[in-house]
Amino acid sequence: MLEWLNNNSGALSSIASFCTLGVWLFYAQLLYLGFARQRRPRIIINRGRSKSPDGMCLISNMSSEAIFVSNVMGVLHTSQGEYTCDLTDYTRTDDSGEERSEEHATRQGPLASGDYHQVCSFREIIDHIAEGHELDIDRNTLTLEDETLQALEIRLIAIYGSENRPLGAYRCFMLEKENRDSNIKHQDCLIVPNSFDTHRLSRRWHQKRIRNWLESLPSSR
């Protein structure tokens, strides 16, 4: 046995070196994946307080660093097409039509790690889109005479850390009718997300799609 080891010491030494290299590469890969995961932006667009249209639209920054929110947009999908509006500086109003100045704060600005923005209720977002595009939507039942409301999409454009290019995030919420009483023709609807997580657009090839978002805003046409 010892003679065999002496005769093959060179080959065994090479095999041991390759095994050691493989172990180091394995641990280097683990370290890189952990670092990349910490550096990856993590933005969550969610529904809070209620499943009804009066529930609040929340934007949370779960990244390890702060993000700078540039634009927040709402897109109403109907059977006849889609309608887009800018929610970045949207001013909420009370029942008398007066602006609630204490609740008027631009969504543009830095958002610290673990912090969140409360945009407004989903019903207010739909109202704002309807007003901007002159849609005759019933505010109580969220119905439109000649079109069927299908979904509400929330889009976000932000800058993460020291990245040079913007990132996008979006999540779509279905407007599902709540049939509690079949004798009532129009019921309120439920806000139901159509995906488990928020979609992230952070790659270089996503930049064209993000530019298209900005160009779709009525003020940019």
pLDDT score at 171:
94
Q: In the numeric block, which tokens belong to residue 111?
A: 């958002």
CB atoms within 10 A of CB 191: 22
Using DSSP bridges, classify how beta strands 43-48 and 167-177 pair: parallel, antiparallel or unpaired: unpaired
Check pLDDT > 60 for residue 185: no
71-114 pLDDT tens trace: 999 999 988 888 898 988 877 655 544 555 444 467 788 889 88
Q: Tell me which residue of 180, 60, 47, 177 sits closest to 125, measured CA to CA.
A: 47
160-170 pLDDT tens trace: 877 788 999 99
6 against 154, higher pLDDT: 154
218 against 130, higher pLDDT: 130
Check pLDDT > 50 for residue 181: no
Check pLDDT > 60 for residue 209: yes
Check pLDDT > 80 for residue 38: no
What's the whole-number mean pLDDT along residues 26-54? Answer: 77
CA distances from 28 to 21, 25, 64, 139, 209 (A): 10, 5, 21, 56, 34
What's the whole-number mean pLDDT along residues 133-145? Answer: 76
Residues facing 158 on adjacent strands: 69, 167
Considering the chain, what percentage of its residues have pLDDT values greater than 70? 76
200 against 178, higher pLDDT: 200
Across the chain, mean pLDDT equals 79
pLDDT score at 137:
79
CA dist 43 and 103 (Å) reads: 23
pLDDT score at 26:
75
pLDDT score at 153:
94
Phi, psi of 37 (to 5 degrees): -65, -40
What is the Cα Rg of the chain in Å? 26
Q: What share of the chain is helix, strand, coil (3-state, %, to 5)?
A: 30, 35, 35
What's the whole-number mean pLDDT along residues 155-184? Answer: 79
